[in-house]
Copies of this chain bind each other. A is one copy, B any other.
Amino acid sequence: MLLHTIFLIAIAAEAMTAALAAGRRKMDWFGVCMLACVTALGGGTMRDILLGHYPLSWVADPNLLLICCGAALATIAGARFMHKLKWPFLLLDAIGLVVFSIIGCNVALEMGQPFVVVIVSGMITGIVGGILRDVLCNDVPLVFSSELYATVAIVAGLLYTGGLALGLPRELVIVVTLALGFAFRVAAIVFKWEMPKFVYDKELR
């Protein structure tokens, strides 16, 4: 219940940041809505396609599409105030990343998938929306080179599945995962924690 509420808020927040990205590319209102839907729902969609888990969440509940479009249009309407909202967006995105990861793990767990697939399922749910957004905006995906993001999704997945495996009550595991995952992501932003980069500029010969 709590999870689903945060999920909806996170969807709206992802849609709003996607709308701003669309605005930087001077997309029209339709493009803004489309990019918002792809970004907010793309991770779960990719997970479900890869796992063969039908129907997709937004097919079963098309209100998710309306939430994304509503959030996108609200972003256009309130564009002049958005530049002050960097931190609210970052915080909502951080909590959204953890919620997406938990939900992704859950889907794979319920399908009886092996451990590695469960963690990957959580990670895909958390990060693929942003990757699709960047591909459609013609950028190299940010998640491949910026502050810890996918790592947060993986750690959240490990905390969640680990807690469940220990037999702890599900509600407790969710709250702890949310708190620690959120703190981890915020710390990564504040302290600019990054994965080491792999820089390779030689030609093979």
Q: Which residues of A contact B (CB under 8 A)?
A: 19-20, 22-32, 34-35, 45, 49-52, 54-56, 59, 62, 65-66, 76, 79, 82-86, 89, 113-117, 120, 131, 135-141, 143-145, 150-151, 194-205
Contacts and interface: CB of A to CB of B under 8 A. Distances in A.
A114 B136 CA distance: 27
B27 A145 contact: yes
Nearest to A132: B135
A30 B195 CA distance: 7
B204 A28 contact: no
Given A22-B200, A23-B199, A83-B204, 9 more contacts: A22-B198, A23-B201, A27-B145, A30-B144, A51-B55, A62-B116, A65-B120, A86-B205, A138-B140
B86 A28 contact: no
A117 B201 CA distance: 39
19 contacts: A19-B198, A22-B198, A23-B198, A23-B199, A25-B140, A26-B198, A28-B194, A29-B197, A30-B143, A30-B150, A31-B145, A31-B195, A49-B50, A50-B56, A62-B117, A83-B202, A83-B203, A85-B204, A86-B204
